[in-house]
Structure 1
Amino acid sequence: MLLLTLNFRKHEVVSGDQSPDDVSSVRRRLAALASKAHSGCTSSTRRLVFRLSEGSLIFFAETTGVNIMWCLDLQVRETQALILAPTRELAVQIQKGLLALGDYMNVQCHACIGGTNVGEDIRKLDYGQHVVAGTPGRVFDMIRRRSLRTRAIKMLVLDEADEMLNKGFKEQIYDVYRYLPPATQVVLISATLPHEILEMTNKFMTDPIRILVKRDELTLEGIKQFFVAVEREEWKFDTLCDLYDTLTITQAVIFCNTKRKVDWLTEKMREANFTVSSMHGDMPQKERESIMKEFRSGASRVLISTDVWARGLDVPQVSLIINYDLPNNRELYIHRIGRSGRYGRKGVAINFVKNDDIRILRDIEQYYSTQIDEMPMNGEARPRTATVVPNVVIPPPPRL
């Protein structure tokens, strides 16, 4: 379930299905741009896209897998919008998404994330940024140093709020909120509704508007889901090598549940002469940025990662997701496979399932009202009682 909770105090909410006819002539070009982006929104985003008021435009769109926010007076070189995200990569992606529209509005946006130079953050903030995207720890550090001034902030966006709480950012989020003006508008985006999320909405908001998406709307169109029965853990590696040899892919992400497993699998794949890259939260920030740059450019085709890559990150060329390990909770499943099949493209998700994983697989199917078939053989889905021998006859990708 996806929840957007918004605290609108004074302004009319306009349905995403309505065209922005009332926008001022000065903003018509921006409205056209927003309308174009709106066509690629998800069902949750389409339900609330425009809020129009005199002299301002607020726009939410998931054109890059995150919510992009416009609520700015460009004549004022102060921070007016603050976006918190659970991972450094997601915060940087949000920043780049806003900067990509700089040709239209000349928005100044900076990413405050851990693992980077504090002095550079201070210098950028002193210059003046309309929007700051970042992780809670570094953002709060900049506020305490009085480098990030909050007096002009109009909106706080908590992206992937449930994941931030899972990572232990609750106190830091509350600390940041205490420094914001009382009239700050809050947007909270969450895939699940744990008690902590409801507690946060009650604390931050008055009479919030909630946009709820049913589970059956979350099954992603265009993504074919399969499983491969591997029986035992030690059989997974050989199965992966067989798949790698037989499937032609644009780009793929292989998910593991632990950082140690990512490192182990990366080493094993390279020893077997397969070209792969890897990323997890223990890597230095510079290395993570370099890996992401290579993967986005297509220089790297296969990425092995933990769930640091499952939330919000967007690489349109990704066509295949392999769950080397089934996720620890069913909500993560939809985030993982949602990394493929972006912008109407076709995608494939393949799950490696041991004998003791069958219960988890069935739970995922029931929760999302979907069916995950056994891996096709020679182009046809096989009965679930059969043992799978991956043998999809497709030219193999090149090796280095």
Structure 2
Amino acid sequence: RALGDYLGVKVHACVGGTSVREDQRILQSGVHVVVGTPGRVFDMLRRQSLRSDNIKMFVLDEADEMLSRGFKDQIYDIFQLLPPKIQIGVFSATMPPEALEITRKFMNKPVRILVKRDELTLEGIKQFYVNVDKEEWKLETLCDLYETLAITQSVIFVNTRRKVDWLTDKMRSRDHTVSATHGDMDQNTRDIIMREFRSGSSRVLITTDLLARGIDVQQVSLVINYDLPTQPENYLHRIGRSGRFGRKGVAINFVTHDDERMLYDIQKFYNVVVEELPANVADLI
């Protein structure tokens, strides 16, 4: 919408958890670009509020994440409704077999641009790890960091929704101001939290991988992997939240004894060396 305001382009966000009737009204009045989630986009196509014969280009962004989150059937249903003569773009930071299968089934002689893994690591982001030995020591380590560092804004990643709520409660009980968002929250609540975070009224956001790719905030200078991701591919999406648009960023990974193998796998996957966090951590951010 921000770009559309200056280009004279009408853009509509078509997502679940919002009014179906309002979506229908706006789409029928005419828009140039629809940005949406698979379920709601398919629903609008099925209702013919979004006319497939008027679509000139279809873009599937974050294809690997969409397919891994159980949207495969909905995405396939959408492709079945698209006209034969349409430009299709499939974008993904990683390209698993499921995403390549889409290109074979629904695209005509597609041009593939595949980036080597060792070119994926984000320049300008300093990456470190902290040995915490035991899971129970992570909270103290986190609080120590926030007492040491002067941070503009930061994102903390954990691996479960329940842990988002647990860590949020623990941080607030120690007088740290934090926000939290995860997939169990309704869309309206998540939108409010993200607006507060983007505006800077909230400076620490605790979240899960589900929302890792939707956080695009220029002021984020620090990402903390309180839990290492369960898949190396998600590491890129997490640490990419810091150092946006050429700014300096830092990623700090909490590593227990059980996490050492995953840290090794991440370094091998991206062909990088993640150094131990130095004593002068305050000078890094």
* Normalised TM-score (structure 1): 0.69
1:321 aligns with 2:219: no
Alpha-carbon distance, 1:103 to partner: 2.0
More helix, by proportion: 2
Moved over 6 A (4+): none
| AA matched with 2:5 | G
Tell me the residue number matched to 1:356: 258
Distance 1:186 1:393, change over 3 A: closer
Contact 2:13–2:34 (Cα < 8 Å) also in 1 = yes
Letter of the structure 2 residue corresponding to residue 249 of structure 1: I
Once the two structures are TM-superposed, the CA of residue 277 in structure 1 deviates from its matched residue by 0.3
Looking at structure 1, the residues matched to 118 and 194 of structure 2 have their Cα atoms a distance apart, in angstroms, of: 32
- SS of 2:141's equivalent in the other structure is helix
1:157-196 equivalence runs, <5 A: 157-196=59-98
- In 2: Cα distance, 1:273 partner to 1:227 partner: 25
Distance 1:394 1:195, change over 3 A: closer
In the alignment of these two chains, the number of paired residues is 285
| Residue deviations 1:192-230 (CA, integer Å, cap 9, x gap) | 222211211101112110111111111111100000000
Give the Cα separation in 1 of the matches to 2:242 and 2:283: 22
Are positions 1:367 and 2:272 aligned together?
Answer: no
Distance between the aligned counterparts of 1:309 and 1:175, measured in 2? Answer: 24
Measured in 2, the distance between the counterparts of 1:178 and 1:149 equals: 13
Aligned-partner residue type, residue 274 of structure 2: I
Q: Tell me which structure has the larger Cα radius of gyration.
A: 1
Match of 1:143 in 2: 45
The answer to whether the 8 A contact 1:162-1:197 is kept is yes
Aligned counterpart for 1:285 among listed residues 172, 182, 187 = 187
Question: Could you tell me how far apart the structure 1 residues matched to 2:123 and 2:74 are?
Answer: 36
CA distance in 2 between counterparts of 1:311 and 1:101 reads: 22
Distance in 1 of aligned mates of 2:233 and 2:11:
31
The corresponding residue for 2:4 is 101
Secondary structure of the 1:230 match is strand
For the 8 Å contact 1:246–1:394, the answer to whether it is kept is: no
Distance of 2:45 and 2:110 partners within structure 1: 26
Structure 2 Cα separation of the partners of residues 168 and 366 of structure 1:
28
Contact (CA 8 Å) 2:250, 2:284: kept in 1 or not?
no
The separation in 2 between residues aligned to 1:141 and 1:260, in whole angstroms, is 30
Q: 1:185 to 1:372 in 2, by over 3 A?
A: same
Partner of 1:272: 174
Task: Give the C-alpha shift of residue 312 in structure 1.
Answer: 4.7
**Shift of residue 172, structure 1, vs aligned partner:** 0.8
Structure 1 regions of 5+ residues with no counterpart?
A: 1-95, 380-391, 396-400
Choose the corresponding residue for 1:300, options 202, 215, 218: 202
Counterpart among 119, 130, 133 of residue 228 in structure 1: 130
Taking the aligned partners of 1:118 and 1:101, their CA distance within structure 2 comes to 23
Taking the aligned partners of 2:284 and 2:59, their CA distance within structure 1 comes to: 44
Task: Give 1:101 shift.
Answer: 3.5
- Contact 1:226/1:374, CA 8 A, preserved across alignment: yes
The 2-side partners of 1:357 and 1:178 are apart by: 42
Structure 2 Cα separation of the partners of residues 120 and 311 of structure 1: 26
Percentage identity across paired residues of the two chains:
64
Contact 2:60/2:91, CA 8 A, preserved across alignment: yes
Residue 153 (1) aligns with residue 18 (2) = no
Q: 1:350 to 1:394 in 2, by over 3 A?
A: closer
Alignment of 1:43-192 (within 5 A): 96=1, 99-104=2-7, 106-192=8-94
Q: Which structure 2 segments of 5+ residues have no match?
A: none
Contact 2:4/2:11 (CA < 8 Å) preserved in 1? no
Contact 2:228 2:259 (8 Å CA) reproduced: yes
Counterpart of 2:146 in structure 1 is: 244
Amino acid aligned to 1:203: K
**Per-residue CA distance 1:218-263 (angstroms, 9 max, x = gap):** 1111100000000011000010000011011110000000000000
